[in-house]
Amino acid sequence: MARALALTLGEPAGIGPDIALETWRRRRDLDLPPFYILADPVFLRRRADEIGISVPLSAAEPAAAAAVFCDALPVVDIGVAVTASPGKPDDTSAPAALAAIRRAVRDVLNGSAAAVVTNPVAKNILYRSGFTDPGHTEYLAKLVGDETGVLPHPVMLLWSPELAVVPVTIHLPLKDVVAALTTDLIVQTGRIVAHDMRTRFGIAQPRLAVAGLNPHAGEQGALGKEDLAVVQPAVQRLVAEGIDARGPLSADSMFHRAARASYDVALAMYHDQALIPIKTLAFDHAVNVTLGLPFVRTSPDHGTAFDIAGTGRADPSSLIAALELAARISEER
């Protein structure tokens, strides 16, 4: 029996529980890979009643989840009683979200789960609880370091059939990007992207398109020196290592259809330079993938959507894509 995917609860007041329940309802029509959800079973039953769908739940351990998946949604109890209601996070929100993530990482590292799929969290709710990591991606890396003694360098890949893009710097204010962006960081990111595109996605020689930081990639220094001083040397080092990389390229002309056909992954220098094009092209089905970890982790590429939580109107398309991609690129593919 194949191992199931570990799906985290996410922010319980958001749409994560809704789309998990709806996704399981569509399992047969879509031939979905088996998954179990890490949650409070009582809370999950209450949410199913609130959105008016009938989903049988089955208490299960990860090893048995795949066997019961066809008949019921397997639920692994996280040991945190959740009292948050739709759109209204409370003091149980952060403990529940973090407990689910921690358990998912343990499950995948000990071989009980095939991969981790994370529902969206609300970072501001986590921060108010004392959470100190910038986001999901960095927290996962820290958990891996705690469990294995080796701290990985996580890389955020936003993937869709139309476009795959990586922000080299992630959750930083724009004013801090220039100081954080270094040649070494771009090279390290490019190496991880090239490696995981080969080993996870099966692309023998991944083609990397590296965006410039400044308008027109600096216009040969007239619009900023960083592209000549920081980005260009990184591209040269990647090429010297045998990686198919080119740039710095003007970001404003990298994302039209003909340009996208010339590369497999675009490396962007900051968060919005990466996320604006992919959310424009694939808002409802893009997937967040963390590269550089010793396991596969994917996530829907959207937020908690508090305004529609509990209404039954949340679209599960991105979660479905995240589950399908996790199964495809994990060892269980």
pLDDT in tens, 54-97: 999 999 999 999 999 999 999 999 999 999 999 999 999 999 99
pLDDT in tens, 183-198: 999 999 999 999 999 9
Q: How sure is the predictor about 249, in pLDDT bands with cuts at 50, 70 and 90?
A: very high
Q: How sure is the predictor about 133, in pLDDT bands with cuts at 50, 70 and 90?
A: confident
Regarding whether 78 and 37 lie in a shared domain, the answer is: yes
Distance CA 15, CA 72 (A): 20
Q: Mean pLDDT throughout 233-262? A: 97
Q: Is the separation of the CB atoms in 115 and 296 below 8 Å?
A: yes
**Domain assignment present for 168:** yes
Instruction: Name the strand (E) or helix (H) holding 179.
Output: helix 174-180
> pLDDT at residue 18 above 90?
yes
Q: Is the separation of the CB atoms in 246 and 278 below 8 Å?
A: no
Going by the DSSP 8-state scheme, the letter that residue 330 receives in this structure is S
Regarding whether 66 and 103 lie in a shared domain, the answer is: yes
Q: Which amino acid is located at 122 in the chain?
A: A
Regarding whether 162 and 148 lie in a shared domain, the answer is: no
**Domain assignment present for 290:** no
Give the count of domains, the chain.
2
77-103 core/surface letters (b: 16 or more CB in 10 A; e: else)? bbebebbbbbbebeebbbbbbbbbbbb
> pLDDT at residue 282 above 70?
yes
Mean pLDDT for the chain?
95
**Domain assignment present for 13:** yes
CA atoms within 13 A on the CB side of 252: 6
| pLDDT at res. 301 | 85
Regarding whether 116 and 81 lie in a shared domain, the answer is: yes
Which residues constitute the domain of residue 206?
A: 155-278
Regarding whether 125 and 143 lie in a shared domain, the answer is: yes
Instruction: DSSP for 274-298, please give it.
Output: HHHHHHHHHTTT-EEEEESSSS-EE
Regarding whether 216 and 133 lie in a shared domain, the answer is: no
**Domain assignment present for 164:** yes
Regarding whether 148 and 14 lie in a shared domain, the answer is: yes
**Domain assignment present for 189:** yes
Cβ-based neighbour number of residue 151 at 10 Å: 11
> pLDDT at residue 313 above 80?
yes
Regarding whether 256 and 195 lie in a shared domain, the answer is: yes
**Domain assignment present for 303:** yes
From first CA to last CA, the distance across the chain in angstroms is: 13
| pLDDT at res. 332 | 42
Regarding whether 50 and 167 lie in a shared domain, the answer is: no
Q: How sure is the predictor about 331, in pLDDT bands with cuts at 50, 70 and 90?
A: low
Angle between helices 317-329 and 16-25 (to 10 degrees): 70
Percent of the chain with pLDDT over 90: 92
Residue 161 belongs to domain with CATH number: 3.40.718.10
Regarding whether 312 and 226 lie in a shared domain, the answer is: no
Q: What is the CA radius of gyration of the chain?
A: 20
Tokens 């908690």, residue located: 304
- Whether cis (ω within 30° of 0) applies to the bond prior to 248 is yes
Beta-carbon contacts of residue 246 (< 8 Å; ≥ 6 apart): 207, 208, 209, 210, 235, 239, 263
| pLDDT at res. 176 | 95
pLDDT in tens, 202-217: 999 999 999 999 999 9
Q: Which region among 77-86, 125-134, 307-316 has the lowest average model confidence (pLDDT)?
A: 125-134
Q: How sure is the predictor about 134, in pLDDT bands with cuts at 50, 70 and 90?
A: confident
**Domain assignment present for 31:** yes
| pLDDT at res. 1 | 54
**Domain assignment present for 284:** no
Regarding whether 145 and 14 lie in a shared domain, the answer is: yes
Pairing mode of beta strands 57-59, 297-300:
unpaired
Regarding whether 228 and 214 lie in a shared domain, the answer is: yes
Instruction: Bin 67: left if φ > 0, else alpha if -120 < ψ < 50, else beta.
Output: alpha
Max CA distance (Å), the chain: 63
| pLDDT at res. 333 | 41
CA atoms within 13 A on the CB side of 323: 25
